Amino acid sequence: MDLGIQDKIAVVQASSKGLGLGVAHVLSAEGAKVVICARTVSELNNAAAQIHESTGNPVLPVQCDVSKHQQLQSLFRQCRKEFGDPDILVCNAGGPPRGQFSDFSKDDWNQAFQTNFHSAVSSVNQVVEAMKTNGWGRLIFITSMAVKQPINSLVLSNAARSALTAYAKTIANDLAPYGITVNCLLPGPHRTSRLEHLVNDIMEDDGCSMEEAWEKLGTNTPLGRLGRPEELGALAAFICSTQAGFITGQSIVHDGGTIKGLL
Ligand code: NAD
């Protein structure tokens, strides 16, 4: 199926590894011109080279900490200069730290909301006028299955992502008349560095190898394995497609059946 995103311009945030890289890779494979960003230049350049080598399509790596407003401005400036105004924006960032609610200071809360909420609001503000003028756009927020079922010890994440979900649902209505869709993708457990601490715990407790620990971690999902970043990437690419133009304001879970609720 041709997704109709050949030559579309896509900014995928926090994309030197993990889920962001998976999404950037699939969008590039579908013919989009992709801008990737992360804080560490060496990892970012490796990721850009990896994607370009595999897809042959242009990839622009831009160093950017999405929690910093000026760096976000620079990210979109460089995108416009190199490729043009973004047609697709995938908001993503590293997850907040784990801990009990009583462990966190006001600064911790501010940092979590800056990174996982305000960065997305600021990014949307910087791309949405051009999308409105073009009468087409795709906004995707990578949140977490924690929006449906809060995860113990991840109170910062649970709260910030729920706020982002409410924001997304609200602007989906405002932007629908302009042909701009707004959706959240809710990953469950995926094999990325975000889960390495759990793998280390399993290795320590069970005395097994790292590969065995990854496999054991996967047995907690009904499908018996962890998600792969490129699977989330394929879902994101479909949501960006012309065929998905009637899907907006949704929170789409990608969790191997982990959430137990009906909806
Ligand atoms: P990851 O650690 O594998 O990758 C995170 C990426 O974000 C890296 O490229 C890193 O350089 C970049 N990054 C981190 N902070 C950044 C910042 N401030 N500015 C720019 N780039 C930044 O993590 P992941 O598994 O890909 O997770 C991505 C998001 O999805 C996180 O918010 C995570 O909490 C969430 N999530 C992940 C899972 C999972 O199982 N992996 C499940 C639910 C939610």
Q: Give the distance between the most distant pair of CA atoms in the chain.
A: 58
Pocket test for ligand 1, best of 192, 195, 198, 199 (most atoms within 8 A of CB): 192
Contact between 158 and 131 (Cβ < 8 Å): no
CA of 168 to the centre of ligand 1 (A): 19
The answer, yes or no, to whether any atom of ligand 1 lies below 6 A from the CB of 23, is no
Quote the percentage of the chain above a pLDDT of 70: 100
Contact between 34 and 27 (Cβ < 8 Å): yes
Give me the pLDDT at residue 47, please.
Answer: 98
The answer, yes or no, to whether any atom of ligand 1 lies below 6 A from the CB of 241, is no
The model's pLDDT over 178-213, given as tens digits with 9 standing for 90+, comes to 999 999 999 999 999 999 999 999 999 999 999 999
The model's pLDDT over 213-260, given as tens digits with 9 standing for 90+, comes to 999 999 999 999 999 999 999 999 999 999 999 999 999 999 999 999
Q: For 107-127, what is the mean pLDDT? A: 98
CA of 135 to the centre of ligand 1 (A): 30
**pLDDT above 90 (res 263):** no
Domains of the chain in start order, with CATH, are 9-188+228-253 (3.40.50.720), 193-226 (no CATH)
The answer, yes or no, to whether any atom of ligand 1 lies below 6 A from the CB of 18, is yes
The model's pLDDT over 62-101, given as tens digits with 9 standing for 90+, comes to 999 999 999 999 999 999 999 999 999 999 999 999 999 9
CA of 89 to the centre of ligand 1 (A): 16
The model's pLDDT over 162-173, given as tens digits with 9 standing for 90+, comes to 999 999 999 999
**pLDDT above 90 (res 143):** yes
- C-alpha distances in Å from residue 204, one per residue of 3, 208, 212, 213, 252: 45, 8, 12, 10, 34
For residue 193, give the ligand 1 atom closest to its CA: 3
CA of 20 to the centre of ligand 1 (A): 7
Q: Taking the complete model, does pTM exceed 0.85, yes or no? A: yes
Give Cα 134 distance to the centre of its chain.
Answer: 24
The answer, yes or no, to whether any atom of ligand 1 lies below 6 A from the CB of 160, is no
